[in-house]
Amino acid sequence: MTTILELREKLKGLYANYSTYIEIVLKLVLALVCLMWIRSAFDGTGIFSNTYVILVSALLCSVFPLRMTPLISGIFIVGQAFELGLDVGAIFAVMFLIIIIFFFRFAPDDGLAMILTPVGLSLGIPAFIPLCVGVRKKPTAAVAVIFGSYVYHQILRLNESRAALAELPLTEFMDRFDLIFINLIANRNMVVGMFAMTAAIVITFAVCRLGFNHAFEAAVVFGGVVYVVFILMGNSMAGSTFAVPSVIGMTLVSTLLALVVEFYFLSLNYKGTEKMEFEDDEYYYYVRAVPKMYAYKRRIQLEKEEEAAEGGPAVEEVPDIAHPDVNSVDFERKLEDSLKNL
């Protein structure tokens, strides 16, 4: 466990020192993955499939806020759709205008969830992003997850309908509209998947806030169970075909990956839990403070090595420390500082 915690702290330290450059690189890679996937899904030959245009757009995404990546990806999708016909492009333009309006209204800070949801679906781990969102975000982030899922299925549906669209003349607008849009709404698997993702996010968020020991780990597991239950019951009621072993296996993998992400961001030392009561002029506070878990031995060792490098005393081996002496921590002061920051 200490080795894993030390690795986590090294990664966090590396990110803290080079966060500006790391964020630029990560946003660049994320934008490249999105735009390249869009190109491969449409298999187009126009300007929006040009490698140079994709690279320049990805570079722009790397310096813009993350919320701009879904917007630029949407422009590429609409551009690819116009290559299949003016009516296809017009339908996609209206659809993405509605999506972007709702996204910036309800979930402007959840662009990462909207981008990664299609990635999770394409990798066969659809529950992974909803579980992570439920632990780290608010339930409103379900809007971004739902839109990401919808866009993913819309692109797949359009790709499947390419041959049929090519045979239909432009004058058969209603038939083309049914092929592009109406048939997708009738996709029961997609609708059930959206409900399951939303349920997983809400349940995971709710269990995390219950405050019992290991609530975050329990929330991820319980969210995965709820996702499986919604998928199985929803598809059974809708009469759609699905593979039960595949659903359970994919959800299990998603849950394990979500637990790894949860450990990296928030692993708590429940042995050091403190309960306090105090009051001010307006409220009486009941506080349960749980310290985060760190590899304290390694951190203190590094601090002593830095002091020695600056001319301090020679470095001595630091004894093993499972967790800090919580009695020496002024939790009341920490809470007051946190409330001031809020």
Which amino acid makes up residue 338? S
End-of-domain residue from the set 265, 295, 330: 265
pLDDT band at 328 (very low <50, low <70, confident <90, very high): very low
* Residue 140 counted as domain residue: yes
Q: Give yes or no for residue 324 having a pLDDT over 50.
A: no
Rounded to whole angstroms, how far apart are CA atoms 180 and 192?
Answer: 20
- Find the domain containing 301 and state its range: 286-341
Q: Domain check: are 43 and 186 in the same one?
A: yes
Count of structural domains within the chain:
2
Q: Domain check: are 251 and 298 in the same one?
A: no
Q: Domain check: are 78 and 226 in the same one?
A: yes
End-of-domain residue from the set 265, 294, 328: 265
The closest of 61, 57, 33, 37 to 47, measured between CA atoms, is: 57
- For residue range 38-74, what is the model confidence (pLDDT) as tens digits? 888 877 677 888 889 999 999 999 988 888 888 898 8
* Residue 195 counted as domain residue: yes
- For residue range 79-123, what is the model confidence (pLDDT) as tens digits? 888 887 787 888 888 888 888 888 888 888 888 888 889 888 888
Rounded to whole angstroms, how far apart are CA atoms 89 and 69?
Answer: 20
- For residue range 139-156, what is the model confidence (pLDDT) as tens digits? 888 999 999 998 888 888
Q: Domain check: are 75 and 105 in the same one?
A: yes
Rounded to whole angstroms, how far apart are CA atoms 218 and 225?
Answer: 11
- For residue range 9-39, what is the model confidence (pLDDT) as tens digits? 677 777 777 778 888 999 999 999 989 988 8
Q: Domain check: are 151 and 27 in the same one?
A: yes
Buried b / exposed e over 12-23, threshold 16 CB at 10 Å, is eeeeeeeeeeee
End-of-domain residue from the set 265, 296, 328: 265
What pairs with residue 292 in β-bridges? 268
Q: Domain check: are 97 and 227 in the same one?
A: yes
Which amino acid makes up residue 125? I
